Amino acid sequence: MDNELNVTYITFGGHVEVHTYGFLYFVIMFTAYLLIICSNSTIVCIIVIHKNLHEPMYVFIAALLINSVLYSTAIYPKLLIDFLSEKQMISYLACIFQWYIYYALTGSEFLLLSVMAYDRYVSICKPLQYPTIMTKNTVKILLISAWIVPSFQIAVPMPQIASKKLCSFTLKGIICNSTVHNLHCVRSQLLNIYGLIVLVNVVLLPLLFIVFTYIKIFVITYRSSREVRSRAAQTCLPHLLVLVSFSCLVTYDVLLARLDAKFPKTVQFILSLQMILYHPLFNPIIYGLKMKDIYKHLSGLFCKTV
């Protein structure tokens, strides 16, 4: 199927003719893309280079930041090309591929956050057993599972989605996300049911697990010394901030396909922009500033550069 979709970009005033301010948009988004790549890659390199950061917690942080780079790379190149083009077009198959990458990485982000919550739980609640539980093999298995499980589950319905008949050829938004279903002539009940199953598996269950582990952590730290509470807050707070931020964006995305007409254009624009700009930059800023050991190495790096 080689159907071409017209891409309509949403802004504060409704829809915009992209080519009117194309070069300005290109410069802004290209700068943002470079910042995302550089900020995330810098922290990943710091974790790889410094041996004192070769701990499960930092390995999972590096994986989360790699996710941000992959996520942005699936979106920005097409976006940048559109800003310099007279017509914003994307083939349906390319749109479905972007849709797949977007949701596979979204699912892996939730699983990585749940793995990080488990790591903090074992570290704080079972410190003596930590070395025997969080071994190198365990870390590898958790990392591989966090990437493979959502990738496989999202891939299952792709052949059926790719072969569906289209009755609309206008994609309203910035990326191919849940709004793709609005292009289909008939919505498949089977796909809707499977989508709900995947949502439960890669979003709701990890979210409930994270909530459960942090409740256990808070109960344990509340009964412990001030030093333990301080250490727990230092390592858990960044994860919670990232989790809350990401959960809000995913909630919007899930509702978008069902309440598209009820969302004001301004809200759609701001939240869509947060998906591609704010969140990929939020992770390295939070972990770079809030994680003491990473911040120390970052400060040393910038001091040497200056």
Residue 150 near residue 205, CB atoms below 8 Å: no
pLDDT in tens, 207-253: 899 989 988 888 888 777 777 777 777 778 888 888 887 887 777 77
Q: Tokens representing 269?
A: 């624009």
Least confident residue range of 5-14, 105-114, 204-213, 266-275? 5-14
CATH of the domain at 76: 1.20.1070.10
Q: Distance between CA atoms of 96 and 101, rounded to whole angstroms? A: 9
Q: Tokens representing 116?
A: 């990080």
The helix or strand, by DSSP H or E, that contains position 134, with its residue range, turns out to be none
**In sequence order, what are the residues at sequence separation of 6 or more whose Cβ sits closer than 8 angstroms to the Cβ of residue 284?**
39, 40, 42, 43, 65, 68
Q: How many domains does the chain have?
A: 1
Q: How many residues does the chain have?
A: 306
pLDDT in tens, 270-299: 667 777 777 788 888 888 777 778 878 787
Alpha helices, H only, 126-202: 130-133, 136-155, 158-162, 189-199
Report pTM: 0.85
Beta strands in the chain (DSSP E): 4-8, 10-11, 14-15, 89-91, 170-172
Measured between its terminal Cα atoms, the distance across the chain in Å is 54
Per-residue pLDDT, 286: 83
pLDDT in tens, 192-209: 888 888 888 888 899 899
Mean pLDDT, range 2-15, rounded to an integer = 49
CA distances, 204 to each of 94, 199, 256, 282 (Å): 28, 6, 18, 22
Per-residue pLDDT, 78: 84
DSSP conformation letters of 109-124: HHHHHHHHHHHHHHHH
The domain of 199 spans: 4-305
Mean pLDDT, range 165-177, rounded to an integer = 74
Strand partners of residue 6: 89, 170
Residue 148: count of CB within 10 angstroms of its CB: 13
Q: Distance between CA atoms of 278 and 32, rounded to whole angstroms? A: 9
- The angle formed by the CA atoms of residues 123, 127 and 130, to the nearest 5 degrees, is 70
DSSP 8-state symbol, 11: E
